């Protein structure tokens, strides 16, 4: 019985496909590592420039911690729903996968809307990125993360369309796994942003 299962597994997933999957996943991990270096550089610049507030207010005077905490909870909730979508895919439930991805996309879009709203209020009060080094590094760091979230939401929408057309195919399963890695990575980056930019800045 074990031999039959082993053979069936290899017939269903040919060696060439398994190697291709491994290559894609490895390549995506390399991309995430390069993205990690990008954010590390942006964090370094922010830490160096966060005291450069000439001509503008300091972080403690312009940020609303309750507002940012709401953003954080929304993004963490989206990570949870993304994980549920992956579990549903492994269980073969297309409906639950679609619900999980839809919830994640809505939460992600809500996060981006709140972030853009915060940017708009800062710019409207004269605290734009050109004001000083602190604000320039802040807008660059947080804006880069927000852009990644936008990419993730677009990716989810495209994946949902693909699942409607092709179901939980091997390709769509692989894309869902990579999307999940990407989304959890963004959550981890945001935790660092929340801690370094907002919590430490409020002190």
Evaluate whether residue 107 is within a structural domain. yes
Residues 96-151: tens digit of each pLDDT: 999 999 999 999 999 999 999 999 999 998 888 888 888 899 999 999 999 999 99
Q: How far apart are CA 40 and CA 62, in angstroms?
A: 24
Domain limits for position 39: 15-199
Report the pLDDT value the prediction gives residue 6, as an integer from 0 to 100.
Answer: 37
Domain count, the chain: 1
Is residue 27 scored above 90 in pLDDT?
Answer: no
For the residues 90-98, what does the mean pLDDT come to? 94
pLDDT above 50 (res 8):
no
Decide: 15 and 168 in contact? Cβ < 8 Å.
no
**Domain contains 146:** yes
Residue 1 belongs to a domain: no
* Closest alpha carbon to 92 in 180, 8, 157, 163: 163
User: Is 132 inside any structural domain?
Assistant: yes
User: 5 or 80, which is more confident?
Assistant: 80
139 within a domain of the structure (yes/no): yes
Residue 75 lies in a domain: yes
**Which CATH number is 138's domain given?**
1.20.120.80
Could you tell me the two tokens for 123?
Answer: 């710019």
Please report whether residue 4 resides in a domain. no
With bands split at pLDDT 50, 70 and 90, how would you rate the model's confidence at 56?
A: low
| pTM for the predicted model, two decimal places | 0.85
Per-residue pLDDT band at 160 (split at 50, 70, 90): very high
Regarding predicted confidence, which is higher, 8 or 194? Answer: 194
Beta-carbon count within 10 A of 200 CB:
13
Task: Report the C-alpha gap between 78 and 184 in whole angstroms.
Answer: 9
Residue 141 is assigned to a structural domain of this protein? yes
């Amino acid at each position: 019985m074990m031999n039959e299962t082993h053979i069936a597994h290899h017939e269903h997933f040919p060696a060439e496909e398994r190697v291709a999957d491994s290559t894609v996943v490895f390549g995506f991990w390399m991309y995430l590592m390069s993205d990690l270096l990008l954010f590390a550089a942006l964090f370094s610049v922010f830490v160096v420039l966060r005291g450069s507030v000439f001509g503008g207010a300091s972080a403690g005077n312009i940020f609303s911690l309750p507002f940012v905490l709401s953003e954080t909870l929304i993004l963490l909730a989206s990570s949870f729903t993304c994980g549920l979508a992956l579990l549903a895919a492994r269980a073969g439930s297309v409906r639950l996968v679609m619900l999980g991805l839809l919830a994640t996309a809505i939460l992600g879009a809500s996060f981006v809307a709140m972030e853009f709203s915060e940017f708009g209020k800062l710019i409207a009060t004269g605290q734009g990125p050109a004001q000083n080094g602190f604000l320039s590094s802040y807008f660059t760091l947080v804006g880069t993360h927000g852009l990644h979230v936008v990419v993730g939401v677009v990716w989810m929408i495209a994946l949902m369309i693909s699942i409607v057309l092709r179901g939980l195919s091997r390709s769509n399963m692989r894309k869902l796994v990579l999307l999940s890695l990407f989304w959890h990575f963004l959550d981890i980056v945001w935790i660092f942003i929340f801690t370094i930019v907002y919590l430490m800045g409020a002190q």
